[in-house]
Structure 1
Amino acid sequence: MLWIALINKVGTGLWMGAAALYFTLVAGLSVAQVGILMGVSGVAGIAGAPLAGHLADRFPLTRVLVTAQVLQALALLALLTTHNFTLMLIYSAVGSLGDRGSNVLTRLYSARVSGTDRIRYQAVQRTVSNAGWAIGGLAAAVTLGIGTTHAYYGLLIGNAVSYAVVAALTLRCAEPQAPSGVVTGSQEPAPAAPPPNPWRDRAFLLFTATETMLFLDDAVLQVGMPLWIVHATTAPHGLAPLLMVLNCVMVVFCQVPLSRFASTPQSARTLLIPLAGSFTVGCLAMTASSHGGTWAAVTALLVAAIALTFAEMLHSTASWELSVTLAAGEAQGAYLGVHGLASSAQRSGGPLLVTAVIAAGPPGWLGLAAGVVATCAAQSRLVRSRLSATALSVPPVTVSEH
């Protein structure tokens, strides 16, 4: 599965940095149309997480994942067939649906195949994914330097091919054993009470709601920082992509070592404290970057990127352990699908919130930091109450032989 993650993210890195340019320079869409297309497809993708989780509790996980991967490949290739705005919007929405579903299914596969070592497994997988992002992004930068229509076609086709390759590799993976109580198409049904419903689990829904706020580091790093550099600081514009490279490098080298600090649900909950602190330092540094000369701005932005990346890694580690622990084992797919809504909702609403923060200026960053600190405190209390009340635990997972 690690090779699958690498190839998948190389393909994603090829396309994501070029998608907006493809829609404007090749397809001839206006900036407003591109914004609508990406916004609508992002909203459509929100449904992918719970839908994929629901299906994974009823059918073989690897087959559902392959379906999502093939769906993404077909949606991308369909973009080559038209420059019609409506059709491109539909194809992009279908691709986004598959993308968000695939992300949840990959996490669910990791949880089932790694068992009690899931934290380290997820950290390694995230490290490999970031390495793939970096490789794909660098290849895309070189290709975009050519600037021809065929270069853009090559990036799109390259991403589609990556999905086809990972689908073929996923078919070769053994089906991981589902937690006790989950019946898939590859298992004999057994009499059992109706599985827990995450939509009726108020505590888990509140946990997911707090997660939406804590996923904001993604929007801050990818949207907020470049816009802030251009509009509010004297730092050179070329600093923005360099800070993203720094983010990828830090994740590659630091994510696995940090994973040892979340070996239990209690230790994962404790990580919310340094998470809040790191995010606050990042926001304070963003505020400071708007004052002083060029070098002062560059230094402050460097501190902000480092602090926000640590917040990202801490949240990734804590979120993974807590979401799996709080999920009912007999409905693990459905629960993780609902949890996936947090990331999907952030992708849609996060950029809007971050642009509002930028419009507010330095006070906006202080307000955002206060919001994250309050959210960390609320989630810590919620998790403590849930663990104390239910004593949830994740049963050991038997790994299927390959």
Structure 2
Amino acid sequence: MGHVLARIPGGRDGRLMLVVALVDRVGSGLWAATSVLYFTYVAHLGLGEVGTLVATAGIAGIAGAPVGGRLADRLPLTRLLAAFQVLRALAAAGLLASGDYALLLVCSAVGGFGDRAASVLTKLYGTRIAGAERVRYQAVNRTIANAGWAVGGLGAAVALGAGSTAVYRCLLLGDAASFVAAALITLRCADAASPSRVVAAGPVSPVPAPVRVPSPWRDRAYLAYMVTDCVLFLDDAVFRVGLSLWAVRDTEAPHGLVPVLLVLNSVLVVALQVPLARFGSTSAAARRLLLPLSGAFAAAGIAMAASAGGGPVLASVSLLLAATAFTVAEMLHAVVSWELSVALAPEAAQGAYLGVHGLAQAAQRMVGPLAVTAAIATGPLGWTVFGTAVAGTCLVQHRLVRERLRRPAALPEPVRQ
């Protein structure tokens, strides 16, 4: 990890926010590894009830991204982020304390809302403090977060060996405690002021001038970009649902290969995400990455289709190639998305725009599993179509952002009195 931490953009505050990411993800890893088991064996919920809880959190998360981004253009960012982390802690503690299903639904919704809002605010903070090095900073942040997630998951696996109700409760308390710790560390970071407040005040006048900040909801080009990015986030659903389900149902690969594929994804991200970030350090470079990204998605779809066409050896090799190609696509898209989502947004409304962009990932968490299961149900042809469709979306986005990147970012307009 030495090459990752050698030079952190953002100075002391950048390093502190990386600690926040680590602590947050360790706690989230504890909960992610045990949530379904907790609801099943401790809360005694049925399959449909557990699914409804997960869906409720996902739906609430869709609202969290734009609301958090909008507030970030108006309120101190570090205090706002700390408040959402405390909200997540209260939601986690509520899951532990409540025996009523309706209250569990409320806590799940609050937790999902706070999670997506905090994610957008963390990205926005990194954007503001890292400046021109924002892509590299986000790459380091993602590497640290992946490491924290792995530590949390391994810790949960060890603890679950005891198999007692008390262990499940302690792991959930650990998740809540991680959010409280993250909030306390966040409050030690200097605030990163919204450019909209700076622009509104002007360089000489001490009295803020009324301005009309651009709205992402009226920006058709940015909304179109967000929709295409939603499609490119489908690699997440592949690793959460598609790869494992396809491997065990439709190929002759040994079942023991499934965890290897997931570990391979984590190892590659930790090893390569930061080095790959330098290929998208400018808007033009990030746009060019959409072309190899298109190739990676197409190759991944073909490899998934090929895994169903032979014996265990061919299936295993094809799945390893598919997992590698999808991971490369995941890393390249992360670099492209970090840069373009900011470069296409007016500086004075970064929070609102990044909040709307956050809808892409939140919406994908709902539609992604459906798209992946549809590919599985259709068989090898389904995976070929899946990879080709996402690859084609890369080319659409490549063309879509060309003109926007040539124009200067919009500034707030004075409000006519």
Per the TM superposition, whether the score is higher than 0.5 is yes
Q: Determine the structure 2 residue equivalent to 1:295.
A: 313
Q: Determine the structure 2 residue equivalent to 1:233.
A: 251
The Cα of 1:192 is off from its aligned counterpart by: 3.8
Q: Determine the structure 2 residue equivalent to 1:152.
A: 168
Q: Is the 8 A contact 1:214 1:315 kept in 2?
A: yes
1:347-366, aligned counterparts within 5 Å?
347-366=365-384
Residue 195 of structure 2 aligns to a residue whose secondary structure is coil
2: CA distance, partners of 1:91 / 1:381 = 42
One-letter identity of the residue aligned with 1:129: A
1:296-335, aligned counterparts within 5 Å?
296-335=314-353
Q: 2:153 aligns with which of 134, 137, 146?
A: 137
One-letter identity of the residue aligned with 1:294: P
Residue 285 of structure 1 aligns to a residue whose secondary structure is helix
2: CA distance, partners of 1:393 / 1:14 = 43
2: CA distance, partners of 1:242 / 1:156 = 27
For the pair 1:109 / 2:125, whether they are aligned, the reply is: yes
1:114-263, aligned counterparts within 5 Å?
114-179=130-195, 181=197, 190-263=208-281
Q: Is the 8 A contact 2:40 2:46 kept in 1?
A: yes
One-letter identity of the residue aligned with 1:235: A
The Cα of 1:145 is off from its aligned counterpart by: 2.4
Residues 256-309 of structure 1 show CA distances to partners (whole Å, capped at 9, x for unaligned) of: 100110111011001111111111111111111112121221111111111100
Change (3 A) 1:289 1:182: farther
Residue 163 of structure 2 aligns to a residue whose secondary structure is coil
For the pair 1:68 / 2:72, whether they are aligned, the reply is: no
One-letter identity of the residue aligned with 2:141: Q
Q: Determine the structure 1 residue equivalent to 2:394.
A: 376
One-letter identity of the residue aligned with 2:298: T
One-letter identity of the residue aligned with 1:202: R
1: CA distance, partners of 2:90 / 2:230 = 29
Residue 80 of structure 1 aligns to a residue whose secondary structure is helix
Change (3 A) 1:326 1:2: same
Q: Is the 8 A contact 1:281 1:304 kept in 2?
A: yes
TM-score, with length taken from structure 1:
0.94
The Cα of 1:82 is off from its aligned counterpart by: 2.1
One-letter identity of the residue aligned with 1:48: G
The Cα of 1:392 is off from its aligned counterpart by: 3.4
One-letter identity of the residue aligned with 1:42: G
One-letter identity of the residue aligned with 2:408: A
Q: Determine the structure 1 residue equivalent to 2:409.
A: 392
Residues 149-194 of structure 1 show CA distances to partners (whole Å, capped at 9, x for unaligned) of: 1121121111111101000000111002332555899xx7610420
Q: Is the 8 A contact 1:130 1:252 kept in 2?
A: yes
1: CA distance, partners of 2:326 / 2:44 = 36
Percent identity of paired positions between Structure 1 and Structure 2: 55
2: CA distance, partners of 1:353 / 1:149 = 36
Q: Determine the structure 1 residue equivalent to 2:361.
A: 343
1: CA distance, partners of 2:291 / 2:162 = 46
After superposing the two structures, state which structure 1 stretch, 151-160 or 307-316, moved more.
Answer: 151-160
Q: Is the 8 A contact 1:134 1:245 kept in 2?
A: no
2: CA distance, partners of 1:234 / 1:74 = 45
Q: Determine the structure 1 residue equivalent to 2:10.
A: none
Change (3 A) 1:31 1:168: same
1: CA distance, partners of 2:198 / 2:271 = 36
After superposing the two structures, state which structure 1 stretch, 312-321 or 221-230, moved more.
Answer: 221-230
One-letter identity of the residue aligned with 1:259: A
Q: Is the 8 A contact 1:325 1:393 kept in 2?
A: no
Q: Is the 8 A contact 2:301 2:388 kept in 1?
A: no
1:73-112, aligned counterparts within 5 Å?
73-112=89-128
TM-score, with length taken from structure 2:
0.91
The Cα of 1:238 is off from its aligned counterpart by: 2.8
One-letter identity of the residue aligned with 2:374: A
For the pair 1:24 / 2:44, whether they are aligned, the reply is: no
Which runs of at least 4 in structure 1 moved beyond 6 Å after TM superposition?
none
After superposing the two structures, state which structure 1 stretch, 277-286 or 213-222, moved more.
Answer: 277-286
The Cα of 1:105 is off from its aligned counterpart by: 0.2
Q: Is the 8 A contact 1:18 1:152 kept in 2?
A: yes
Count of equivalent residues: 391
Q: Is the 8 A contact 1:183 1:189 kept in 2?
A: no
Q: Determine the structure 1 residue equivalent to 2:6.
A: none
Q: Is the 8 A contact 2:214 2:410 kept in 1?
A: no
Mark the runs of 5 or more structure 1 residues left unpaired by the alignment: 395-402
Change (3 A) 1:244 1:84: same
